[in-house]
Amino acid sequence: MSALHDIRDWYRQEFAGHAPDMAGAGLPWLGARRRAAMELFANTGFPTRKDEHWKYTDVSPLALRQFRPADSIPVETAALAVHRLDAWQLVFVDGRYSPALSRLDGLPEGVRLTSLADRLRETPEMLEGWLGRHVGADRHGFAALNLAFAEDGAVIEIRRDVDLAKPIQLLSVQTAGQDSIQHLRHLILLEESARAAVIESFIALTPGASFSTGVTEIDLAAGSELTHYRLVQNGDDASQIDTTHVQQGRDSRYSGHAVNLGGRLLRHELDCALAAAGAECRFNGLTLARGQAQVDTHTRFDHLAPHTTSREWVKGVFDDEARGVFSGRVVVHPDAQRSDAEQSNRNLLLSARAEADSRPQLEIYADNVKCTHGAATGSLDPDQLFYLRSRGLDAARARQLLVYGFAADALARLPLDDLRRRLAAALGERLLPGTNLEGLIP
C-alpha cells in the first residue's frame, strides 16, 4: 500500500513542478480543472483489481513505477514515411505537437485543425465548454492524470455540411523510451451533416517501458458522420490507457475501427452515447497480442433515444502468455424503443497459456428492442485445416494461413483501401513470416 501512496505523491510533485509552465496555465477555469483532477488522483490513485471495471486488468506495472516526461529524440521525416497515409497530418512527438513534421497544406474552408496547446494559448474560449465534458477526472485514475497533465493533442472542427475529401491523421510518435510518460487529448467536433474520417496512429520509435494516456472527446451533431480509426503499433513494452467518448446527435453515424498490433498493457475504453433518435454506432476491433501483453477493449453503448442502432464486432488473437479482456456493455434505456443492438466477440487462442475473457453485458430497460450478442473463444476450425491440407499445404503453413485469415477478415470492414492493404500486409508479415504475400489480400 505504501508504494501506491508513494506513486500518488510522485505525480503530485510532478504536477506541482510542471503546472505553472503548462500550455493554458494562465486560464483560471483550466487551472481549476487540472488542480481538481490532480486532487482526485491524489485521493484515489490508480484503479486496482478490487474495482469491478478493472477486475481482469492488473495495472501494477504502471502503478508501481515512477514515469516522467523525458527528452525526445529528433525524428527524421523519413522515419515516418511508412506510417503516413494520404491525409492531412498532425504529428505529435512524445505528446507534443510538431509543426515541422505535420502536413496541413490545402485544408479546405470549413475545417479548423489546430493543436490543443496552440488553441489554449491563442483562442481558448471555446474549449472551456468541451475539455473534460464527457471524459472527466472522476472516470478513473488514468483519466484524472490525463486531465491534470495533458496540454497537447488535436482540436478538429468541421463546419456544417462540409464533406472532407481526405482523412485527418493524428500520428503519435513515442521516442523518449524507458520510463517516459506522455498524455494526449483530442477534441473532434462535427457540426450538422458534416462528414469526416480521423485516423489516430500510435507508433514507438524507441523501445522501453513507456506509458501513455489518451482521451478523445467526440461530438457528432445531427446528421454528421465520422469514421474513426485507431491503429496501435507500439513497441512490445509500451503501455497505453485510452478513453474515447462519442456523443451522438440525431441521425448521426459513428464508425470506429481499432487495430491493436503492439504494446505491453493496452486498454481502450469506448463510450458511445446514442442520445437522439436515429443515431447509429459501429465498432470493429482487432487485437493481436503476444509475449506478456495484455490488451483490453471495453465498450459501452448507451441507447438513450428511440430508433438507435449499435453494431459491434471484436476479434482477438492471443499467443504465448498474452491475455485480453473484451467487455461490451449495451444499455438500452427506457426511452429507447425500437432500438437495435448486435454484438459479437471472437477470440483465437494460439497457446495453452494465452487467455481471453469475454464479458458481454446487455441491460435492457425498454420492451420493444432487438438485441443479440455472441461470443466464442477457441482454436482453429478442423474443417478449414483439412481443406487447406488437402490442397497440399503442410499443417504448420495451413494453421498460419487460417490465423492470418481470421485476423485479416476484420479488416474487410475498413472503407479506406490504402489503409486496409497496409494493415493486411502488416498482419501478413507478422503471421506468415518468410512467405511471399503477393496477392494475399482479397
Give contact residues for other proteins (rule: CB under 8 A): 382-384, 386-395, 397-398, 401-402, 404-412, 438-442
Strands 154-158 and 111-115, by their bridges, are antiparallel
CB atoms within 10 A of CB 396: 8
The string of DSSP letters for 21-60 reads GSTTTT-HHHHHHHHHHHHHHHHH-S--TTSGGGTT---H
Q: In the complex with other proteins, which residue's Cβ is closer, 339 or 400?
A: 400
314: phi then psi, degrees, rounded to nearest 5: -125, 130
| Residue 364 grid cell | 435492457
Q: Which is nearer to other proteins, 36 or 380 (CB)?
A: 380
Residues 256, 390: Cα–Cα separation, whole Å: 38
Q: Which residues pair with 372 in a beta bridge?
A: 342
Task: Compute the least distance from the CB of residue 259 to other proteins, in Å.
Answer: 14
Q: At closest approach, how far in Å is the CB of 12 from other proteins?
A: 49
CA–CA dist 228, 157 (Å, integer) = 14
Nearer to other proteins, 104 or 412 (CB): 412
Do strands 280-289 and 370-378 pair parallel, antiparallel, or not at all (unpaired)? unpaired
CA dihedral 85→89→90→91, nearest 10 degrees, is 40
CA distance 103 to 229: 19
Q: How far apart are CA 222 and CA 190, in angstroms?
A: 9
Which of 145/402 has CB closer to other proteins?
Answer: 402
Least distance (Å) between residue 421 CB and other proteins: 12
Q: Is the CB of 279 or the CB of 410 nearer to other proteins?
A: 410
What would you report as the CA-atom Rg of the chain, rounded to the nearest whole angstrom? 21
Q: Which is nearer to other proteins, 85 or 408 (CB)?
A: 408
Dist CA 18 CA 24 (whole Å) = 12
- CB 313 to other proteins: min, Å: 12
Number of CB atoms found within 10 A of residue 61's CB:
15
Rank residues 192 and 409 by Cβ distance to other proteins and give the closer one.
409
Query: Which one, 42 or 432, has the nearer CB to other proteins?
Result: 432
What values do phi and psi take at 372, rounded to 5? -135, 150
Q: Which is nearer to other proteins, 111 or 432 (CB)?
A: 432
Query: Which residue number, 70 or 431, has a Cβ lying nearer to other proteins?
Result: 431
User: Do the Cβ atoms of 71 and 85 come closer than 8 Å?
Assistant: no
Q: How far is the CB of 441 from other proteins (least distance, A)?
A: 6
SS3 385: helix
Q: How far is the CB of 145 from other proteins (least distance, A)?
A: 38
- Cα separation of 221 and 189, whole Å? 8
CB of 301 within 8 A of CB of 331? yes
From residue 320, give the alpha-carbon distance in Å to each of 61, 304, 317, 349, 429: 19, 41, 10, 9, 18
Query: Cell 503477393 maps to which residue?
Result: 438
Closer to other proteins by CB, 183 or 346: give it: 346
Min CB(380)–other proteins separation in Å: 11
- Residue 95, helix vs strand vs coil: coil
